Amino acid sequence: MVAKGQSRENPLDNLSNSLITAVEKASKFTLMVDARRRIPASGIAYQQDLLLTADHVVEREDDISVVFPDGNEGKAAVVGRDPGNDLVVLRLDQPLAEAAQPASQDALLGQIVLAIGRPSRRGVECSFGVISAKGGPVRTGRGGLLEAYLRTDAIPYPGFSGGPLIDSSGQVIGLNTSGLARGASLVIPVELAWQTAAMLVKHGQVKRGYLGVRSQPVQINRQQQEVLGREQSFGLLLVGVEEGSPADLGGLLTGDIIVGLNEQPV
């Protein structure tokens, strides 16, 4: 019962107000990135002087312009890039007062999210949706292996690539990109994006382990397990070894069965 003269709280108004606040928060770390011939894209200031965006929107490494939340224009320089996972780190010529904060909890199916972009000088834009799928690892159209990804039904408007996907509190859930799956929009989870950014700052590129083999699972029977002295039901049958690869130089041959790497079972 609501007493006479008292107003009942409207949960939709409360939700709306919280989303407005979240967008305002995200606008302080979402920048416009002008580094290609077409419409500019967006980027996330994950540190006060470092910007993370999608690699495919940075078509030139010289004369990269950015527009800050206050509308002022600045410059940025490439620190490192990872085309396979469509990520690049830029260093800003002037630091921001605030940087993005990663979400404290893993993304959940059905969670309300907002896709944020700053595709022009007019300011930020946003779209509303929910997380509709989680997946990975998956091969990307840029020759990489994306360990994890999210899908959302929030509309990826032109220029949203490189911008953040945020939760209802304004924390970053991931980075939006249309450069990994033939134009379809994916979200790179924030933990993976931040980890990749750290490697790019340190090395300029992502260093990945490489064997140079093609393999398929094969069953190890009980007798083979006894000979090997290990209880392991499956190994990896090598169906191809690339010439000159680490596997080839290490003496692995097509037909070998790998049961472990560095004393860890495969």
Cα distances (Å, whole numbers) of residue 161 to 41, 123, 227: 6, 15, 54
50-53 vs 41-47, strand pairing mode: antiparallel
- For residues 176 and 188, what is the distance between their CA atoms, to the nearest angstrom? 7
Q: Which of 161, 178, 185, 215 is catalytic?
A: 161
The verdict on whether 86 is a catalytic residue reads yes
Beta strands in the chain (DSSP E): 30-34, 41-47, 50-53, 64-67, 73-82, 87-92, 112-120, 123-135, 138-139, 145-146, 149-152, 164-166, 172-181, 184-189, 213-219, 234-241, 257-258, 260-261, 264-265
Residue in 86, 127, 167, 185 annotated catalytic: 86
Q: Which of 55, 56, 127, 185 is catalytic?
A: 56
Q: Is 127 a catalytic residue?
A: no
For residue 59, give the amino acid letter: E
> Which residue, among 151, 31, 13, has the nearest Cα to 99 in the 3D structure?
31
Quote the CA–CA distance of 96 and 253 in Å, as a whole number.
54
Helix (H) or strand (E) holding 14: helix 11-27
Known active-site residue 203: no
Active site residues per annotation: 56, 86, 161
